[in-house]
Amino acid sequence: MAKNVVKKIKLQIQAGKATPAPPVGTVLGPAGINLQEFCTKYNEATREKMGDIVPVEISIYEDRTFDFVLKTPPTASLILKAAGIEKGSAKGANHVVATLTKDDIKKIAEIKMPDLNAYDLERAVNIVAGTARNMGIAVKGLNDAELLEQEKEAEAAEAQAAKLEAELEAAEASAKAMSEGASVEVETTHQDKETEEETEENTSEE
């Protein structure tokens, strides 16, 4: 008789490095499974993928036993590893931070095929290339020219923004200088002068 699954939990863990400590213990502890047993089995199953992040989907049963299925590493982490960098561009496609070859993208696509919504390798390659593009990573012969053009446009926009900021700072500095050295002048009107004279006459009569 098949056991009933009471909970499914998804985690992303460094291959071969699962421990009962947080975050694994924090997430799985309340489920009541044997944490050390899970970590040992996960590390054995992912030992050959050391250096990658390997997602895992854990099925937990009523009797607190479990099974798990390994998924392919996140596309972004595979791209970063292939590019030899720790993170992609903060400006997305507008700033090229690395370049990969079509073969690099193809290898990643082959790894990701089981988890991608792709009917064939060509479609998978396009999906991976799109992710790389959004991370600011060009693909030789595919989209590097486009990305470099976008980078030039971004640099021009940054230069314009810097110019406007410099002009604003200059205007603020000028306004501050004027404020610090400004003198206050009060112009006396004809009516005010008459009032002053009447006041003086009343004072002298008293």
Distance between CA atoms of residues 72 and 115, nearest Å: 7
CATH fold of 75-148 = Arc Repressor Mutant, subunit A (1.10.10)
Q: Edge-to-edge strand order for the sheet containing 66-70?
A: 5-14, 53-61, 66-70
pLDDT, residue 94, reads: 78
3-state SS class at 186: coil
Helix axes 102-112, 75-83, angle to 10 degrees: 150
Angle (CA) 109 115 121, round 5°: 35
Distance between CA atoms of residues 186 and 22, nearest Å: 71
Helix axes 121-134, 75-83, angle to 10 degrees: 70
**Model confidence, pTM:** 0.61
Distance between CA atoms of residues 170 and 41, nearest Å: 64
- The CATH code belonging to domain 5-70 is 3.30.1550.10
Tokens of 131: 């992710």
Class of residue 136 by CB neighbours under 10 A (exposed 0-12, middle 13-18, buried 19+): buried
Domain boundaries of the chain, sorted by first residue:
5-70, 75-148
Nearest to 51 by CA among 73, 69, 70, 35: 73
Tokens of 89: 């561009």
Predicted confidence pLDDT, tens digits, the chain (206 residues): 678 999 999 999 999 999 999 999 999 999 999 999 999 999 999 999 998 899 999 999 999 999 999 999 999 999 999 999 999 988 887 788 999 999 999 999 999 998 887 788 999 999 999 999 899 998 887 655 565 665 566 566 567 767 777 878 777 777 776 666 544 444 445 555 555 555 555 555 55
pLDDT, residue 12, reads: 94
pLDDT, residue 158, reads: 66
Question: Which residues are CB-contacts of 4 (< 8 A; sequence separation ≥ 6)?
Answer: 61, 62
pLDDT, residue 185, reads: 46
